[in-house]
């Protein structure tokens, strides 16, 4: 969806049009769920926190900066809610891929190519799940949501140098874990 269309839907929502907000939810529900699932690794918690994300976004819509795109804003809310959830609960179990996580129709790839890609993704997930939650969230925001260091610091309400430190340590640990999985 185009940013101008998102802004129009936000404006309509702020004027009381709930259908407009429903359009925003439908447009971004998949990407918000993906963020939650990558951080939490639990489908039920990811679904719950996806819903919470859209409720939180709705209640704070008046603080949305119309100069920025809606997608990254709502996905960052999701990442923050997941981060807070992890800090308040027990350590999560590692996510398991199921039939909902496989590509439909194979995407034109051979079964072998899909299997290799799936195995590589599984190793990455396993390594990510060995990182502390604050490192996982840093990786999510920077590499999956493309936030700048400054945006991450603002969203997580931590100093910029702390963001840099989290990312540096997370990347090093992730690389170390991946080398172990690959046996090198």
pLDDT digits (tens, 9 = 90+) for 44-95: 999 999 999 999 999 999 999 998 889 989 999 999 899 888 877 654 444 4
Question: Does the pLDDT at position 30 exceed 50?
Answer: yes
At 4 the pLDDT is 65
Query: For the ranges 42-51, 112-121, 137-146, 173-182, which has the lowest average pLDDT?
Result: 112-121
Question: Does the pLDDT at position 114 exceed 70?
Answer: no
Residue-range domain boundaries for the chain: 1-91
At 16 the pLDDT is 92
Neighbours of 131 (CB within 10 A): 19
- Name the phi and psi angles at 142, rounded to 5: -80, -50
**Structural fold of domain 1-91:** Rna Polymerase Sigma Factor; Chain: A (1.10.1740)
Pick 161 or 124 by higher pLDDT: 161
Give the whole-number percent of the chain exceeding pLDDT 90.
40
Calculate the alpha carbon distances from 92 to 39, 74, 144, 146 in Å. 9, 23, 20, 24
Average pLDDT over residues 90-109: 46
């Amino acid at each position: 969806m185009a940013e101008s269309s998102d802004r129009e839907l936000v404006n309509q929502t702020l004027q009381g049009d709930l259908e407009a907000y429903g359009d925003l939810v439908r447009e971004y529900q998949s990407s918000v769920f993906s963020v939650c699932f990558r951080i939490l690794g639990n489908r039920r918690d990811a679904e719950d926190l996806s819903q919470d994300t859209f409720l939180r976004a709705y209640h704070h819509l008046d603080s949305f900066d119309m100069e920025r795109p809606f997608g990254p804003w709502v996905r960052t809310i999701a990442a923050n809610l997941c981060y807070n959830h992890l800090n308040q609960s027990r350590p999560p179990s590692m996510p398991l891929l199921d039939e909902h996580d496989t590509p439909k129709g194979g995407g034109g790839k051979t079964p072998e190519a899909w299997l290799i890609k799936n195995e590589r993704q599984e190793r990455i997930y396993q390594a990510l799940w060995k990182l502390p939650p604050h490192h996982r969230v840093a990786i999510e925001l920077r590499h999956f949501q493309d936030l700048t260091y400054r945006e991450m610091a603002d969203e997580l309400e931590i100093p910029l140098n702390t963001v840099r430190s989290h990312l540096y340590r997370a990347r090093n640990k992730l690389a170390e874990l991946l080398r172990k999985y690959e046996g090198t």
